[in-house]
């Protein structure tokens, strides 16, 4: 009887990457591979990369070295966004055996099964084997979702982006905007509910663009993939959505699924966040009062340079709509500091804009140069030291905003979904409006939704609940 091979995974970047890693892991599980921790010896290591990650090459090298320290003879496959953008660069990393780009990553199980398996791949060329394609050939949508301890699942509903922001490589790494069908998303959500999942986070690259259909992507379209004649076509695709399907229609259908208690909308562009969507969330029992809306800059001059599709006045309007209809809503914001041409006055304009906005927290990114973007050619480069100073200022503002938001809700009772992890005899959960809560570990609360009063904020900035008021719902 053949020995069962083991595989370990390391995922960089966004929730969408985690959904796709989980899908790839299930396909390898079906092929007979046993999943193990990345910190132990494994036969195969899979590294799912991110194009947004700063110093992606260095980070990838470090992760490869970590894998080979655990298992010097292991087979290493590097997949995903950075693998699509820089396949030759990754293939040159000592210890990498296989590099798979945007489409081919979903065929990892087939590559490991073909050509004599991992030994066959190594003996064929005696160097890393690359399978990728031109990104304009990527049209398919591959069904993906992740699960973690049954509590929360990331469900992919959309992929790719048709925007051309000056700083971004994602369209080059993932291709044009394309979507799942509403029918298939609903079926996936229902199946997750049957498996005991309480909360689903809808993920994608530009989810507000759900329903986009390109003329080049017909029903069940697949990409022509691979840089060699032995490329394996991807058959795990679904029919493209009807041109009449929209994100609003999607959430309306999902709201009817009784087996899922909670849905969250991941990051959504402000120009695509319509008043209809906000009103829908305000009136829904299942869609949580929580939005994450990229801003990137509070200076219209910089927004124009970034080629964003809105100005700060529209963003301010969206926040006002949300707070008018859902006063207790949590609002997260993405912002980039140090974009080329951002003067001290521009930065302070962003700071003052964010300071007065009724938002709950910030995700602050320091601008870093990316090959093949418009921004890399721009003059008026902001010194890295100054970028880091601006980052710290906004991170401090974020902590103040978060604490103020938590403070507003002390002594109120909120429904909390608790996670299963036992960390030093404590456990964490999130309220409906995304306040992170900590309490003493109690296995009976894992993956349960309870209502409890938020009593205090601890030194780590987490809300503490009054245990005597716990009750299940």
DSSP string, 278-327: HHHHHH-SSB-SEEEEEEE-S-HHHHHHHT-SS-HHHHHHHHHHHHHH-T
Rounded-to-integer distance, Cα 95 and Cα 127, Å: 9
3-state secondary structure of 471: strand
Q: Which residues pair with 418 in a beta bridge?
A: 429
Find, among 80, 178, 177, 179, the residue nearest to 131 by Cα: 80
Rounded-to-integer distance, Cα 69 and Cα 403, Å: 41
pLDDT at 220: 35
Q: Tell me: pLDDT of 228 over 80.
A: no
The percentage of residues in the chain with a pLDDT greater than 90, rounded to a whole number, is 63
Q: 13's torsion region: left (phi>0), alpha (psi -120 to 50) or beta?
A: left
Q: How many helices (H) and strands (E) does the chain have?
A: 14, 21
- Sort 192 into a burial class: Cβ within 10 Å, 0-12 / 13-18 / 19+: buried
145-187, pLDDT tens digit by residue?
987 656 789 999 999 999 999 999 999 989 999 999 999 999 9
CA dihedral 452, 458, 460, 465 (to 10 degrees): -10
The widest CA-to-CA distance across the chain, in whole angstroms, is 70
HSE toward the beta carbon, residue 94, CA cutoff 13 A: 6
**DSSP single-letter state for residue 3:** P
Q: Is the dihedral of CA 203, 207, 208, 211 positive or negative?
A: negative
pLDDT at 3: 75
Rounded-to-integer distance, Cα 10 and Cα 372, Å: 27
Instruction: Report H helices in 159-246.
Output: 170-174, 182-194
pLDDT at 89: 87
Domains and CATH numbers, the chain: 6-136 (3.40.50.12160), 413-472 (2.40.50)
* 3-state percent helix, strand, coil for the chain, nearest multiple of 5: 35, 20, 40
Task: Pick the range with the lowest mean pLDDT from 43-47, 50-54, 102-106, 120-124.
Answer: 120-124
Cα separations (Å) of 464 from 289, 328, 417, 420, 455?
A: 20, 18, 14, 17, 6
32-46, pLDDT tens digit by residue?
999 999 999 999 999
282-304, pLDDT tens digit by residue?
999 999 999 999 999 999 999 99
Helix H, strand E, coil C: the string for 361-381 is: EEEEEECCCCCCCCHHHCCCC
Residue pair 60/94 in contact (Cβ under 8 Å)? The answer is no
Task: Pick the range with the lowest mean pLDDT from 146-155, 192-201, 231-240, 432-441.
Answer: 231-240
Can you read off the two tokens belonging to residue 402?
């978060």
Banded model confidence at residue 47, pLDDT cuts 50, 70, 90:
very high
pLDDT at 194: 92
Where b means 16+ CB within 10 Å and e means fewer, 302-334 reads bbebbebebebeebbebbebbbebbeebbbbbe
The percentage of residues in the chain with a pLDDT greater than 70, rounded to a whole number, is 88
Rounded-to-integer distance, Cα 160 and Cα 180, Å: 12
322-367, pLDDT tens digit by residue?
999 999 999 999 999 999 999 999 999 999 999 999 999 999 999 9
Rounded-to-integer distance, Cα 264 and Cα 242, Å: 24
Cα separations (Å) of 195 from 46, 188, 416, 462?
A: 26, 11, 20, 30
């Amino acid at each position: 009887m053949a020995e069962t091979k083991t595989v370990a995974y390391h995922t960089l970047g966004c929730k969408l990457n985690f959904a796709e890693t989980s899908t790839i892991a299930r396909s390898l599980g079906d092929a007979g591979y046993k999943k193990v921790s990345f910190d132990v010896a494994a036969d195969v290591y899979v590294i799912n990369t991110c194009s947004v990650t700063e110093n992606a090459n260095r980070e990838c090298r470090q992760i490869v070295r970590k894998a080979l320290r655990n298992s010097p003879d292991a087979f290493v496959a590097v997949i995903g966004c950075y693998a699509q953008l820089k396949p030759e660069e990754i293939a040159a990393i000592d210890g990498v055996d296989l590099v798979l780009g945007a489409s081919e990553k979903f065929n990892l199980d087939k590559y490991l099964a073909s050509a004599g398996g991992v030994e066959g791949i190594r003996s064929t060329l005696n160097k890393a084997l690359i399978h990728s394609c031109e990104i304009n050939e990527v049209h398919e949508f591959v069904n993906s979702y992740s699960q973690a301890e049954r509590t929360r699942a990331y469900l992919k509903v959309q992929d790719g982006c048709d925007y051309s922001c000056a700083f971004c490589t994602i369209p080059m790494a993932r291709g044009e905007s394309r979507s799942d069908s509403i029918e298939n998303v609903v079926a996936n959500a229902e199946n997750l509910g049957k498996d005991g999942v309480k909360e689903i986070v809808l993920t994608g690259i530009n989810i507000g663009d759900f329903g986009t259909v390109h003329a080049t992507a017909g029903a069940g379209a697949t990409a022509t993939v691979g840089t060699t004649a032995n490329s394996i076509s991807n058959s795990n695709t679904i029919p493209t959505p009807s041109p009449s399907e929209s994100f609003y229609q999607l959430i309306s259908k999902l709201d009817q699924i009784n087996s899922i208690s909670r849905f969250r909308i991941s990051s959504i562009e402000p120009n695509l966040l319509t008043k209809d969507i906000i009103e829908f969330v305000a009136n829904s029992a299942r869609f949580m009062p929580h939005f994450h809306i990229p801003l990137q800059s509070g200076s219209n001059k910089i927004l124009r340079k970034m080629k964003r599709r809105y100005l700060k006045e529209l963003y301010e309007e969206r926040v006002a709509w949300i707070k008018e209809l859902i006063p207790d809503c949590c609002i997260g914001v993405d912002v980039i500091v140090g974009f080329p041409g951002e003067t001290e006055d521009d930065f302070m304009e962003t700071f003052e804009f964010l300071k007065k906005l009724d938002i709950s927290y910030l995700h602050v990114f320091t601008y870093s140069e990316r090959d093949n973007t418009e921004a890399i050619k721009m003059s008026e480069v902001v010194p890295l030291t100054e970028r880091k100073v601006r980052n710290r200022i906004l991170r401090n503002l974020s902590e103040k905003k978060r604490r103020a938001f938590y403070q507003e809700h002390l002594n109120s009772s909120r429904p909390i979904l608790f996670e299963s992890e036992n960390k030093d005899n404590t456990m964490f959960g999130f309220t409906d409006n995304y306040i992170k809560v900590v309490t003493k570990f109690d296995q009976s609360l894992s993956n349960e939704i309870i209502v409890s009063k938020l009593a205090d904020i601890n030194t780590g900035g987490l809300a503490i609940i009054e245990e005597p008021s716990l009750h299940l719902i």
